[in-house]
């Protein structure tokens, strides 16, 4: 039997085969990512929701809150502490409307997880980095319902001996309160219901919507 000598074309096909095998994992990863994105978009479209507060209503109310805060803290040094991650959009808009100088910091607490109901357990996952001793503090939160998260944060910050401490919340579910806690500045008071948009999310969905929606259960 005559042994066939490999040609340049044979080597080319062999090399292409090796390259194709090498890129198979990358192609599979791209497929998995695209499939995940399509699934998330499908889920967002399938969730039933209706608008609660429009972008125009939100902008108007944020301006009103900022004017009141600017008046109350005129001539004073103010440190604003935002509660991540839900409050960051509200806090950014609020600070741009406040007419007095202020410093900012952030804290992060976990209580919701992947559920639409509060777990009741609060864990501090990021502490502030600024010294607040003898300073005027304004906590900015996206929503308060049971009050457990804010109560925990207020107690945590009071140990640093600030001169004063007030709370500004965008949404207040007063009927769900489990502890005695009142916000000093409130954007809107709402009934019970799960809301998303303008920083508030459900499993990381709807966070960047400019309007506030209520999810229909």
Answer yes or no: 127 catalytic: no
Beta-strand ranges (E) seen in 11-122 are 49-53, 78-84, 102-110
Contacts of 1 (CB under 8 A, 6+ apart): none
Looking at per-residue pLDDT, the higher value among 44 and 185 belongs to 185
Residue 216 is predicted with a pLDDT of: 80
As beta bridge partners, residue 143 has: 171
Q: Are 154 and 179 in contact (CB under 8 A)?
A: no
Q: Are 118 and 148 in contact (CB under 8 A)?
A: yes
Among 145, 184, 201, 211, the active-site one is 145
Give the pLDDT confidence of 115-160 residue by residue, as tens digits. 545 556 888 999 999 999 999 999 999 999 889 989 999 999 999 9
Distance CA 74, CA 188 (A): 24
Mean pLDDT of 97-113: 88
Q: Which fold has domain 49-215?
A: Rossmann fold (3.40.50)
Mean pLDDT of 169-191: 92
Instruction: List the chain domain ranges.
Output: 1-46, 49-215
């Amino acid at each position: 039997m005559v042994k066939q000598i490999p040609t340049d074309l044979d080597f080319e096909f062999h090399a292409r085969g090796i390259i194709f095998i090498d890129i198979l994992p990358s192609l599979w990863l791209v497929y998995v990512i695209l499939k995940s994105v399509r699934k998330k978009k499908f889920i967002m479209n399938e969730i039933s929701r209706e608008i609660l507060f429009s972008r125009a209503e939100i902008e108007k109310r944020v301006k009103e809150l900022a004017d009141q805060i600017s008046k109350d803290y005129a001539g004073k040094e103010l440190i604003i502490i935002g509660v991540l991650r839900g409050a960051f959009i509200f806090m950014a808009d609020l600070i741009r409307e406040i007419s007095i100088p202020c410093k900012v910091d952030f804290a992060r607490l976990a209580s919701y997880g992947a559920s639409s109901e509060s777990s009741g357990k609060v864990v501090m996952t990021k502490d502030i980095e600024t010294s607040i001793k003898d300073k005027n503090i304004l906590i900015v939160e996206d929503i308060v319902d049971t009050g457990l998260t804010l109560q925990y944060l207020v107690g945590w910050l009071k140990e640093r001996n600030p001169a004063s401490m007030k709370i500004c919340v965008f949404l207040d579910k007063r009927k769900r309160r489990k502890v005695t806690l009142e916000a000093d500045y409130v954007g809107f008071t709402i009934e019970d219901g799960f809301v998303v948009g303008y920083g508030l999310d459900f499993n990381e969905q709807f966070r960047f919507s400019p309007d506030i929606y209520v999810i229909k259960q």
